[in-house]
Amino acid sequence: MSHPRPDLPATSVGSAALAPEPEPLLERPGVRPAGPRRILRDLGLSYVSNGAIGLIFAASGPIAVTLAVGTAGGLTQGQLSSWVFGILFSGGAATLLMSLIYRQPLGFAWSIPGTVLLGPSLQHLTFPEVVGAFFTSGVLILALGATGLVRKAMALAPMPIVMAMVAAVFLKFGTDIVASTQDNPAVAAPMVAAFLVLTAVPMLGRYLPPVLGTLVAGCIAVAASGQFNLSHGGPLLATPVFTAPEFTWAAQLELVVPLALTVLFVQNGQGIAVLRAAGHHPPVNAFAIASGTFSVLNAGFGAVSACVTGPTNALLTSSGKLQRQYTAAVAYGLLALVFAAFAPTLTRLMLAAPKEFVLALGGIAMLRALQQAFVTAFATSFTLGSLVTFVVTISGMNLFNIHAAFWGLVIGYGVSRLLEQRDHLGL
C-alpha cells in the first residue's frame, strides 16, 4: 500500500484526487427517467398539439419526397409501404426511448437529404445494392458515435456558425408561408389569420395555442373549399418486407460516406443546435449511437437512415415550459408508432390534402425557430463565418453527393478561423 510522501505539499497530494474525470461516452441524463405519473402531470394541450403537428409535418412533405424518390427508382408498392413503416416506427421508438431517459424533447425522424441523394443512385443501382449501403452507413454512424469523435467534432463549431446553417435550411419554411398564401389563399390565408389573432391576443392563445389554432383553421378551410381529394384506395395496414442487401463497391463508395456525414453533421447538427437554442442539453454521442442503431433497423425494412432533425425538434420546442417539453416528444413518438402500423392509410390521407395546407402549417410552426436561428447566428460574434455558412448552405452547393449544409459548416468555419481570430480567442 502506497502513502503520500511527507515532503510533498498537501495541495500536490490533493490535486490528483481533484483531477476531472474523463467525460463518459454516453452522456448521463442528470435526472431520473420520466415515469407514467410524471408524464401525466407534465402533459398539456399545447404539448400534445406540438407533438401532433410535428408528426403531421413529418408524415406529409417528407413522406411525399420519399414516395417520389422511391417511385422514380422503380420500387414496388410493398417496398414503399415498408419504407414508410420503417421510418415512422424507428422515429417513434427512438424518440420515446431517448426523451423518456433524458427527459428532454429529443425527436428522431429520417434523413430527407439522404432520401434525395438516393434519387440518382436508384437510376443505376438496384434496390438491394442501396439497402446494402443503408446497412453499412448505419454501422459506420454507430461506430463513429462509439468512438466519441462526433461530440468532439460538434464542439469545434461555434454556435453562431451552426445556427447560420440552421437558418439557411429553415428559411424555405418561412418563404413557404408567402408562396402558399399566394398560390392557395382559400386555405393558407385563414391559417395565417388564425395564427396572428391567437398570438396577438394572449387570452385566446391560452385556451387555444396559436399553432393548434392554425391547424384547426386549416382543416376547416380545406373542408370548406372542397380540396380534400381522397380518390385512391389501398391497404389499411402496413406489411413490412425484408429486402436482402447486396454489398457492392459501386453502391458503398457512392452512398455510405455521404449518408453518414449527412446524418451526423447535417441532420443531427441541426437538431442539436435547435435544442441548445431552446435551452436544452442534448446528448451528442447518444444521438449518434441511437441514429446508427435505428439506421440499421431501418435498413431491415428497406428504409433510409434515422437521425435527429432540426424541423421536428423546432416544432416540439416551439412553446411551453422547458422542463415539460419532453411530453411533446412523447406524444410525437406514440403517434408515430400508431401511424407506422397504418402507414399506407396515413400516406393517402396526407397526400389527399392540398400541399399549401402542409407548407403553411409547417412554415407557421417554424417561425419562432427561424427567428431564433437568425438572432443566434448574427447578433454577436462570428458574424462573417455565419454569413459565409448561410450563403454556401442556401446556394445548394453539392460536392461528392454531400448536402450543402455540410459544406456550409466546413467553409464557414474555415473562413471564420482565418478572418475572425479574435472571436475564437474569446471562446
pLDDT of 127 above 70: yes
pLDDT of 160 above 60: yes
Provide the pLDDT for residue 231.
63
Residue 20: inside a domain? no
Structural domains in the chain (count):
1
pLDDT of 85 above 70: yes
Which residues are within 8 A (CB) of 75 and not within 5 positions of it... i.e. 6 or more apart?
A: 83, 122, 127
Residue 315: inside a domain? yes
What percentage of residues in the chain have a pLDDT greater than 90?
Answer: 33
Residue 26: inside a domain? no
Residue 236 has a CB neighbour count (10 Å cut-off) of: 11
For residues 191-216, give the mean pLDDT.
84
Domain extent for 120: 32-227+238-425
Residue 161: inside a domain? yes
pLDDT of 57 above 70: yes
Residue 23: inside a domain? no
Q: pLDDT: is 48 or 202 the higher one? A: 48
Computed over every residue of the chain, the mean pLDDT equals: 84
pLDDT band for position 233 (cuts 50, 70, 90):
low
Provide the pLDDT for residue 16.
45
For residues 175-201, give the mean pLDDT.
91
* Tens digit of each residue's pLDDT (9 = 90 or more) over 408-426: 888 999 999 999 888 887 6
* Tens digit of each residue's pLDDT (9 = 90 or more) over 290-329: 999 999 999 999 888 899 988 889 889 988 899 999 999 9
Provide the pLDDT for residue 20.
53
pLDDT band for position 227 (cuts 50, 70, 90):
confident
Q: Going by DSSP bridges, is the β-strand pair 108-110/306-308 parallel, antiparallel, or unpaired?
A: antiparallel
Residue 327: inside a domain? yes
Q: pLDDT: is 58 or 95 the higher one? A: 95
Residue 63: inside a domain? yes
pLDDT band for position 266 (cuts 50, 70, 90):
confident
Provide the pLDDT for residue 350.
66
* Tens digit of each residue's pLDDT (9 = 90 or more) over 7-54: 444 444 444 445 556 677 778 888 888 889 999 999 988 899 899 988
Residue 244: inside a domain? yes
Which segment of 22-31, 169-178, 182-191, 250-259 scores lowest on mean pLDDT? 22-31
Provide the pLDDT for residue 138.
93
Q: pLDDT: is 402 or 15 the higher one? A: 402
What percentage of residues in the chain have a pLDDT greater than 70?
Answer: 91
Provide the pLDDT for residue 89.
94
